[in-house]
Structure 1
Amino acid sequence: MYRPIGNSLVIGTRRSTTGLISTRTSIISSYQFSTTTKTQKEESKSKSKSKKSTGPADKNNIFDPRVIGLTSDQYIPISWRNIPNPLSSPRLAWNVVLRKIYTVGINTIQVALLRYQTGLKPKFLLWKNNAIENYVQVNKSFASKTVKDVHSSVSMWVEESLKNRSASIPNNIRLSWKLVKFNETPKLITFRPLMMPGRPVEHVQIVYRFNTKQQLVKVNLDNNKTDKITRDVTDHVGFLIDLHTNETILCGSVFENAPTDKIPKPEDIDRSVIIKEMRERGDIFRSPPPSIADNSKITKDE
């Protein structure tokens, strides 16, 4: 994805551990999930007497899935190429490997629980393809300053950030973005069904690792100078997927955890900063923190 460097713009880059409910659920659900007023509820009750509900969820409990973002209560394991040298740091390397194995195990358990509780078979290939299409469309819309076109495909946190960054692009600059290729097959990193209080499981949140080669063309309309930049980018992008329609919402991005980071526990999550975390991770074009190495390769074409 694009990420800013200085003032320029370039391509950028648990109930329990086996449960379905994240520690953030109670906080998020209290943040404008329900848009139904008391009057609307009364009207809905009267209508329900003459007409049965046909949707998968209770129509009296309306919420906007675009409110759901990414928080710090999930562990993004380090890729194999970034694992510490086992010869110089054997204990650290071993702990990283164990956490990677643990994450795979948790993902497997979450998939099994989803199938058991809903009877639905995960459509991993379809979800991945939809996520890729969403990812491409969001990047293109940002570059062309048409963020409104992806309103329903991104979380409110991502949309807010896209609008702010788009507004900062000078009027004399025209951008175009292209996904050249995937350097490796997109990989599922984390998987977790989301259950809201009083509602059945309707969504899952998946973080994919996209290792891509991207191209950004920047045209200065004042002097017609064109800069073409090609860059290898690795992004960890989170998507909210509707189990009934298979539609995807890009809800933010995250970075790999540091080798010394431990897997977060529910009691370690600071609930008071959940909204802040979702807003920060909604900025999908932000630069990685200093503790994370940026291995992107940039090529400027003449």
Structure 2
Amino acid sequence: MFVAASSFARPSAARLLLNFARHASSAAGRSKKPIPRPGIERIGVPFDPYVPMRMSRLPSPLTAPKLYLKSIWNRLLLFAYNQVQVYYFKKSMGKKYKPNFLKWKNEAIETFVRVNKGFAEKKLPSIRTNVSEYVYSALEARTKRMPPTTTMGWELVKFNSVPKLISVHSFPHEDGVPLLVQIVYKFDTKQQLVVKKAGQDVQKNVRDLTEYLAFNIDPFTDRIVLAGSVFESPVSRGVAPKEAGGKEEIMAQMKAHGDIYRIEQPQE
């Protein structure tokens, strides 16, 4: 089945989100002055991007050949979607612009480590500029629920595989120039969490985790913030982002995705 390129165009949620961020970051005025560009930390993950399900989670191609083939097809469509998004982004930035994907990935890794350490050590102010306001609010709420006598330490033991770019979304500004690029990376890691509760022995928990984290990138400064997290998508859904219907739903999406430590719910 052929999918038209128009279905891969910039998500309409990006336009609604831009209007929302502009309204939230500037006071209303009677004069029609240029509206400032909202900071990338004001934007979370406003929709559900498609994230391919790991092959290990899929049934055998012998027992479910149609589902398996659709998963392969969706991966091809996602590759095409990403190419279209990068094309729009580069075209809007100008012919001489070259996105620095390697630098962005390295910065995303450093941000990932910094945020986990900052949260575990209850040093949220130290990571305020590294996360979106939605991630920060969620981390604050979780910190307040922690017993004051409990201390934690976090360590990235290793990456089980090289971090992988999953999807790219270009968010346009009103002048046609990109406001930001939002990239979802797959981080397959081994992590250690050390927990010390009052009157108890130190508990060390080492486990493998696969996470899909979305990062906002300012294409003019290469600044990066952690915008939120997402989960793998059902094979049955389409590749184009699953968008919210209005501002209230977009806000709900950004708040939900901002809680990067939430537990994945079973798929329907």
Given the two structures, how large is their TM-score scaled by the length of structure 1?
A: 0.79
Seen in structure 2, the aligned counterparts of structure 1 residues 202 and 71 have a Cα distance that, compared at 3 Å, is closer
**Distance in 1 of aligned mates of 2:63 and 2:245:** 34
> Which residue matches 1:37?
27
> Which residue matches 1:117?
92
Alpha-carbon shift at residue 146 of structure 1 (Å): 1.1
Deviations 1:263-292 (Å, cap 9, x if unpaired)?
3477x6423411101100100000001229
Over aligned residue pairs, what C-alpha RMSD do you find?
Answer: 2.4
Deviations 1:20-55 (Å, cap 9, x if unpaired)?
x3221233233342433356968xx7xxxxxxxxxx
Seen in structure 2, the aligned counterparts of structure 1 residues 252 and 168 have a Cα distance that, compared at 3 Å, is same
Runs of at least 4 residues off by over 6 Å: 39-42
> Which residue matches 2:192?
215
Seen in structure 2, the aligned counterparts of structure 1 residues 208 and 91 have a Cα distance that, compared at 3 Å, is same
CA contact (8 A) 1:83 1:259 kept: no
Letter in structure 2 aligned against 1:37 = A
**Distance in 2 of aligned mates of 1:260 and 1:39:** 46
**Distance in 2 of aligned mates of 1:162 and 1:112:** 35
**Match status 1:105 vs 2:94:** no
**Match status 1:233 vs 2:209:** yes
CA contact (8 A) 2:117 2:153 kept: yes
Gaps of at least 5 residues in structure 2 are none
Seen in structure 2, the aligned counterparts of structure 1 residues 280 and 286 have a Cα distance that, compared at 3 Å, is same
> Which residue matches 2:62?
87
> Which residue matches 2:107?
130
Letter in structure 1 aligned against 2:228 = G
**Distance in 2 of aligned mates of 1:96 and 1:201:** 31
Seen in structure 2, the aligned counterparts of structure 1 residues 39 and 195 have a Cα distance that, compared at 3 Å, is closer
**Distance in 1 of aligned mates of 2:21 and 2:209:** 35
Seen in structure 2, the aligned counterparts of structure 1 residues 146 and 40 have a Cα distance that, compared at 3 Å, is farther
**Match status 1:25 vs 2:11:** no
SS at match of 2:128: helix
Alpha-carbon shift at residue 72 of structure 1 (Å): 3.0
> Which residue matches 2:230?
254
> Which residue matches 2:47?
72
Letter in structure 2 aligned against 1:29 = L
Gaps of at least 5 residues in structure 1 are 1-14, 46-57, 293-302
**Distance in 1 of aligned mates of 2:241 and 2:156:** 37
Deviations 1:238-276 (Å, cap 9, x if unpaired)?
00001111111100000000233333477x642341110
Letter in structure 2 aligned against 1:210 = F
The structure carrying a bigger helix percent of its residues is 2
**Distance in 2 of aligned mates of 1:167 and 1:265:** 33
Seen in structure 2, the aligned counterparts of structure 1 residues 230 and 98 have a Cα distance that, compared at 3 Å, is same
- Which one of the candidate residues 107, 122, 128 is aligned to 1:145? 122
Letter in structure 1 aligned against 2:129 = S
Alpha-carbon shift at residue 157 of structure 1 (Å): 0.8
Seen in structure 2, the aligned counterparts of structure 1 residues 41 and 153 have a Cα distance that, compared at 3 Å, is farther
Alpha-carbon shift at residue 199 of structure 1 (Å): 4.9
Letter in structure 2 aligned against 1:17 = S
CA contact (8 A) 1:253 1:282 kept: yes
SS at match of 2:202: strand
Q: How many residues align?
A: 261
